[in-house]
Structures are given as structure tokens and as C-alpha cells.
Amino acid sequence: MIKNLALALTFGVSGQALAYQATGHASWYGPGFHGHRTASGERFNKHALTAAHKTLPLHTRALVTNLANNESVVVEINDRGPFHRGRLIDLSQAAARAIGIRGVGKVEITALD
């Protein structure tokens, strides 16, 4: 079980998720994956504001806030992952830099659409 993970899902009458918010650990990926295909079919760009998440629908926009410094960035989910135990989201290099994450950091994620 993933530690430090708080999840809140609200479901509408149709059963579709209307809201998603989670707190957990984020990491980043970039150089080794730059140019490779993502789960959405597009090529990964370490300079774009994108992220990998295991369950959020592809092309969902999400607000990611670094809880250490309260800096936030909006990313598009375009890939699946992370595949490291205890991690909630993998940010592109640009997204991680935008909120001051240099390795692994604790974040809050809120789905915007």
C-alpha cells in the first residue's frame, strides 16, 4: 500500500469522476524518454508541461502543487506511470523544474477537467 496517499473521488449519477484530488510523491522523467512515444501516442517532450499518471484519463489537465514551497503548475496527463513504488505522478523535467522538484517531492494533484 502506498503511504502518505490521500484520495478523494466524487462520482456523479453517470458514474464518471467529477473531481479528483490526491496527495503523494512526485518524481520527474526526461532525458532518457525524450522523443519516445507516450501512452497517448504523442512523442514525449521533456520541455513540455506534461505528466504520467496511472489512472487519470489521458489528456486530463491537472494542477500539481509542491507542498514544500506551495509552487504550482498545470500539466497535461499524456502518459502512464510512474512505475516506482510509492510515487503518485511522474512530471516532465520542465514541470518539475517549474515547481522546484529536483528529485522526489510531496505534491497535491487536483484534476481540472
Question: What is the 8-class DSSP label of residue 38?
Answer: -
Contact criterion met (CB below 8 Å) for 82 and 92: no
Binned at pLDDT 50, 70 and 90, residue 111 comes out as very high
Q: How far apart are the first and last CA of the chain?
A: 27
Residue with cell 491537472: 62
Q: What is the pTM of this model?
A: 0.83
Residue 16's pLDDT is: 54
Structural domains of the chain sorted by starting position, each given as residue range(s) with its CATH number in brackets: 6-111 (2.40.40.10)
The 10s digit of each residue's pLDDT in 24-76 is: 999 998 778 999 999 999 999 999 999 999 999 999 999 999 999 999 999 99
